């Protein structure tokens, strides 16, 4: 989308790298992040949630949502992107494998492309660090025949 930004948040299980939930928004307000978190919590339990110090993750609404679900808050140090290396690696993969390959005209096109990508990433993209299993296989404890 020329001249426009779309912001992406993803909720990832660190152990398996499985993307439990995600959302996009034309603004960086906390609400779309909270929506992604609530949707992820419908399918998964979370004890600790790690983020950077972006304004959406330091907002009162975000913090209250985590506290209301009894989730411990972990925040990276300022400018310490390596503290959350798994999500940073996901951003690199999303950009290189999907976003940079296409010209999108609408936010709906971006959403469709990301839906396809995360389905691929979770269920078909093999990870060397998991002995060539997918994040879904690790997350759900399944092994291929």
What pLDDT shows up at residue 83?
Answer: 60
Angle between helices 60-68 and 30-41 (to 10 degrees): 10
- Sign of the alpha-carbon torsion through 21, 24, 25, 30: positive
**Residues 23-54 pLDDT 10s:** 999 999 999 999 999 999 998 888 888 887 88
**Residues 66-97 pLDDT 10s:** 999 999 998 766 655 556 788 889 999 999 99
* 56/26 Cα distance (integer angstroms): 13
What is the number of domains present in the chain?
Answer: 1
Among 79, 37, 85, which Cα is nearest to 62's? 37
| CA 26 to the chain's CA centroid | 16
Domain membership of residue 2 (yes or no) is no
The CATH number of the domain where 105 resides is what?
A: 3.30.420.10
The range of the structural domain enclosing residue 14 comes to 7-139
SS3 assignment, position 87: helix
73: enclosing H helix or E strand: strand 72-75
């Amino acid at each position: 989308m020329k001249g426009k930004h779309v912001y992406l948040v993803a909720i990832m299980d660190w152990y398996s790298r499985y993307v439990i939930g995600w959302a996009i928004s034309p603004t960086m307000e906390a609400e779309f992040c909270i929506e992604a978190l609530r949707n992820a919590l419908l399918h998964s339990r979370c004890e600790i949630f790690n983020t950077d110090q972006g304004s959406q993750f330091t907002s009162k609404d975000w913090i209250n949502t985590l506290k209301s679900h009894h989730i411990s808050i972990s925040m990276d140090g300022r400018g310490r992107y390596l503290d959350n290396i798994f999500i940073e690696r996901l951003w690199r993969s999303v950009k290189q494998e999907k976003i940079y390959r296409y010209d999108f005209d609408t936010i709906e096109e971006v959403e469709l492309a990301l839906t396809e990508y995360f389905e691929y990433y979770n269920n078909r993209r093999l990870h060397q660090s998991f002995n060539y299993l997918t994040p879904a296989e690790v997350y759900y404890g399944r092994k291929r025949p």
